[in-house]
Structure 1
Amino acid sequence: MSTKANQAAHRVLDMLHGRARKVAKGDPLAPPIINAAKYALPGAPDHPFPYGRFDNPGWQAIEDAIGALENAPTICFPSGMAAVTAALMALAGPGARVLLPSDGYYTVRVLIDDFLRQHGIEPVLVPTRQMDGYDLSGFDLVWLETPSNPGLDVCDIKAICERAHAAGAKVCVDNTTATPLLQDPLALGADMVVASDTKALAGHSDVLFGHVASKDEALIERVRQWRKLSGATPGPAEAYLAYRGLMTLELRLERMCTNADALARLLQGHAAVSAVRFPGLETDPSHAIAAKQMVRPGFVLGATFRSEEAAERFIDDCPAIFHATSFGGIQTSGERRARWGDDVAPGYVRLSAGCEPTDALLAAVSQTLDTL
């Protein structure tokens, strides 16, 4: 087992047994759903649970569990974008210059353009593949998303963090497509990590959730304060669902990553597909860096078909692909990303490999490809 994989395995053990080590006789292993806006608070208001907007035992359970994987204090949020907003508010003050991937999740760019520019925040957009050589002088924050969504380009987190810190900038990494089990940005030098746990971490396509993690106590306290003051708080039931899904993350990722690798190699060799993007392919431009900083290259891949029509037919006709936006669920899903305005070919399909039996998944996909 590689060093990265061994470290991840020990963090999984801590995640799975963290709550179990603390429960008293007769306490439930699963965290209870506590629907509470009010708590008993006589005397000085110095209790961890003074009011429902401040904290909830269910939040603490999921934060402890994700924190075991991140190896860092973690704050949970009601969605990935709520986590992104909290990170930006903690890291980018008025007038900040922010280096942002032009090929990352587009909603982050829209948020900055529509709301944060009014505070003088200046975004500079650069493709992920150009981040490694980009001059970081004069930036306050470098925002990375690697592998990028949806193009699956990769940049060198450790090298960028070293250059950013030398230039006086903080680094935040959106680690949604990798999860802390496949990539550890904080260990590579990032100041903060954000993720949409709606995707693989919760994994069952039934809850919106997100988190922020950082080893910097001052930064994580700013994130906590933002959640309390803004009211960007997750529901107790949502925290429970995220916790329940998290418990099987390692098992799901094992099958999802195996399926993604098999799908990439099947698609790469088929006449109906003109190009495949997957960091696990030796011919992929992201392969070398991904192999260096990731435990495995992930479960998301891209396939370019000859036309928009062929791409849509492939998704709709394949009985093993669920046609939807988002990714990271148990079912393999696909989406033609150009329909959202992403800078990809009209026939580019982002595939998120699910947990189906590998041979059955490959057979269904292969049969559909042969009809295109």
Structure 2
Amino acid sequence: MDKHAQRIAADLLHLRGQALSKGDPVALPLVSSSMFHLPGDPDGAAAYGRVDNPTWEALEHSLSVLEDAPCVAFPSGMAAISAALFATLKAGQTLLIPSDGYYVTRLLSARFLSQLGINIIERPTRAFADGGFGEIDVVFMESPSNPGLDLCDISAIAQAVRGQGGRTIVDNTTMTPFGQRPLDLEADVVVASDTKAPGGHSDVLMGHVATRDPAIREAVLEWRKVSGAIPAPHAAWLLHRGLETLEVRFERMCQTAEALAQALADHPTISAIRYPGLPGDPSHNLAKQQMSAFGFLLGLTLADKDSAERFISSCRLLRPATSFGGVHSSAERRARWGDDVADGFVRLSVGCEPTTELLDDLLMALNDL
């Protein structure tokens, strides 16, 4: 971890403490009030729970330090993605999305944005720049893509899109700001599902939008206020707590994932493995350029559906569950959701278990196939 990331990690731990007065609680209070004492004119004071909440504000302050940009919190990653898209698109404009990215983003685009007069174009992540960006108003990237773990060149694409008068949004859920910083790579907006590694304990749904563009931030805030897509105070409180341990969890997860990828790369039951940290991975060179860590997700392709399901269910230290980024390692066969992957493709999310114990468990399950 570089010195800048170390500084951010340290600042997050003491962010609240630096502003405390004598007798204040060190832990963030949970405020769940829907109403605030408001005699006379509002004058900028907290007014109503759909617009104001001190627990949100503390969380957004922490997120802004983490992203080095103003942030707006949302009740899920998809709520954050929706806000970013509705805040940047108009009827008649064109949106480019990854054909191999998170499938719900494609559903939102096909079922709702297209009906509002938005033209939707899809391209695979590895060929995302093919065809240029001349007629495209908003470009939505995933890098690494979910679940295939392909990469695209965020900086080159962001520069090209800006040169054509467009805007770029990057879904950074798979990496977090400790592994990749799209805003520093010239993206206009970052969205993320904080349900994953930032929350870290599989007990909260949250997301956020980060941008250094004041106009986009105001539009995102307006969307949240008008649409009512607001986070629950308790969820915001849980995420605030999770952020304080994100760096140490993320580092452990990435280190273990890299060790597992190296150990499993030549296993006879795995026909293909994807991990950007492997020298032979198609995305390895680009990953070294734009990522400060290789992440905690692995893609394993086994012989077929039954092999994948037996592998997942027989691992004592794997939870068969959707989502990723928790302290518990988990895995799922992504074809069950309609992703364009082989029936035997397994997305493996590495948690915080001791590396040797986890590897032994995975090898035992693979050897029994």
Q: Match of 1:269?
A: 266
Q: Match of 2:278?
A: 281
Report the CA distance between 1:48 and its aligned residue.
3.8
Q: Once the two structures are superposed, what CA deviation does each residue of 1:85-126 show, in whole Å capped at 9, x if it has no partner?
A: 100011111121011000000101101111111210111000
Q: Does 1:315 align with 2:296?
A: no
Report the CA distance between 1:230 and its aligned residue.
0.6
Equivalent residues of 2:72, 2:221 under 8 A apart: yes
Q: Match of 2:133?
A: 136
Give the Cα separation in 2 of the matches to 1:97 and 1:174. Answer: 18
For structure 1, the residue ranges without an aligned partner over 5 or more in a row are none
Q: Once the two structures are superposed, what CA deviation does each residue of 1:208-241 show, in whole Å capped at 9, x if it has no partner?
A: 0000000011110110111011110111111001
> Which amino acid in 2 is paired with 1:54?
V
Match of 1:159 among 156, 160, 170: 156
> Which amino acid in 2 is paired with 1:360?
E
Q: Match of 1:15?
A: 12
Q: Match of 2:25?
A: 28
Match of 1:220 among 214, 217, 224: 217
Q: Once the two structures are superposed, what CA deviation does each residue of 1:247-298 show, in whole Å capped at 9, x if it has no partner?
A: 1000101110011111112221211100000000000001011110101010
Indicate the SS of the match to 2:28.
coil
Q: Does 1:99 align with 2:128?
A: no
Q: Match of 2:287?
A: 290
Indicate the SS of the match to 1:194.
strand
Q: Match of 1:230?
A: 227
Q: Match of 1:257?
A: 254
Equivalent residues of 1:267, 1:303 under 8 A apart: no
For structure 2, the residue ranges without an aligned partner over 5 or more in a row are none
What is the percent sequence identity of the aligned residues? 52
Q: Match of 1:108?
A: 105
Indicate the SS of the match to 1:261.
helix
Give the Cα separation in 2 of the matches to 1:167 and 1:38. Answer: 46
Report the CA distance between 1:30 and its aligned residue.
1.6
Indicate the SS of the match to 2:6.
helix
Equivalent residues of 2:100, 2:125 under 8 A apart: yes
Give the Cα separation in 2 of the matches to 1:368 and 1:117. Answer: 44
Indicate the SS of the match to 1:187.
helix
Give the Cα separation in 1 of the matches to 2:334 and 2:65. Answer: 33
**Stretches (4+) displaced over 3 A:** none
Give the Cα separation in 2 of the matches to 1:170 and 1:10. Answer: 30
Where does 1:1-372 land on structure 2 (aligned, <5 Å)? Answer: 5-372=2-369
Give the Cα separation in 2 of the matches to 1:15 and 1:284. Answer: 34
Equivalent residues of 1:147, 1:177 under 8 A apart: yes
> Which amino acid in 2 is paired with 1:110?
L
Equivalent residues of 2:38, 2:45 under 8 A apart: no
Equivalent residues of 1:202, 1:242 under 8 A apart: yes
Give the Cα separation in 2 of the matches to 1:295 and 1:287. Answer: 12
Q: Once the two structures are superposed, what CA deviation does each residue of 1:301-322 show, in whole Å capped at 9, x if it has no partner?
A: 1000011110100000011111
Aligned-residue RMSD, C-alpha: 0.9
TM-score, L = length of structure 1:
0.98
> Which amino acid in 1 is paired with 2:206?
F
Give the Cα separation in 2 of the matches to 1:271 and 1:330. Answer: 28
Report the CA distance between 1:133 and its aligned residue.
3.6
Equivalent residues of 1:307, 1:346 under 8 A apart: yes
> Which amino acid in 2 is paired with 1:119?
L
Equivalent residues of 1:16, 1:65 under 8 A apart: no
Report the CA distance between 1:132 and its aligned residue.
3.4
Indicate the SS of the match to 2:18.
coil
